[in-house]
Amino acid sequence: MEETKSNSGQSLGIAALITAIITFVIAVIPCIGLIAIIPGIIAIVLASVGLSQATRSESPRGVLVAGLIIGIVASLISISQYLVAGKFADKWPNNIEKIVNDVQENVIKELEDANVSIKVENGDEKVEIIIDDNKKDKEQTLEELEEGSSSENDTLIKPE
């Protein structure tokens, strides 16, 4: 009686091997090595599923084992780069604090230098205040105006 070899898991094996080899190439490129963990995990999962199928049906497992080993090695290389990034992580809090402070200073400076215009309309009357580079003078003028023309309506009534 002729014995037929089952090819169960072979397609998964090829997919795992191809993914693992591509992962390996990505993993050794420092710029993108960190993202190699994703295809690495995919390769390991594919190879593991294929291996379980092949074991049940007693079909050849060479390609699957190769895919699994290369996938694991590639993932380890990628993980090692995470560890490298982790070493730099100690410096992160200081850097982030510095960046936030810089951004805050820039925003405040931008606001100080900004040209601001305020328009107030009351029926036919229209008042426009433009604050530009010499805004200090304008601020003073605004304060003087407020002092001179303040009325009961402008005062804030506190709730009892």
Partner 1 sequence: MTPLSNRNNQNAKPQVSFKQEPYLMANAVFAGVIFLIILYTAIFSPEKNNYPVACIHEKITGEPCSSCGLSHSLSLILRGRIDEAYSWNENGMAVFIFFVSQLIFRIFFSRIYIRYPGLHKQLIITDIIGSFIIFLLAFMPFIVSILKWI
**Which one of 14, 65, 69, 129 is in contact with partner 1 (CB under 8 A)?**
14
Backbone φ, ψ for residue 141 (5° rounding): -60, -40
Buried b (16+ CB within 10 A) or exposed e, 37-65: bebbebbbebbbbbbebbeeeebebebbb
Name, in order, each residue with C-beta under 8 angstroms of 147's C-beta and a sequence gap of 6 or more: none
77 binds partner 1 (CB under 8 A): yes
Q: Half-sphere exposure of 112 toward its Cβ, with a 13 Å CA cutoff?
A: 7
Q: Which is nearer to partner 1, 85 or 107 (CB)?
A: 85
9 binds partner 1 (CB under 8 A): no
54 binds partner 1 (CB under 8 A): no
Q: Min. distance of Cβ 27 from partner 1 in angstroms? A: 9
36 binds partner 1 (CB under 8 A): no
Q: Min. distance of Cβ 34 from partner 1 in angstroms? A: 5
Per CB under 8 A, which of residues 80..139 are in contact with partner 1?
Answer: 80-81, 83-85, 87-88, 95
- 113 closest CA partner among 129, 127, 96, 133: 133
74 binds partner 1 (CB under 8 A): no
CA–CA separation, 135 and 137 (whole Å)? 5
The CA-CA-CA angle for residues 28, 32, 37, to 5°, reads 75
Q: Number of residues in contact with partner 1, rule: CB under 8 A?
A: 26
34 binds partner 1 (CB under 8 A): yes
Residue ranges that bind partner 1, judged by CB under 8 A: 10, 13-14, 17-18, 21-22, 25, 28-35, 63, 77, 80-81, 83-85, 87-88, 95
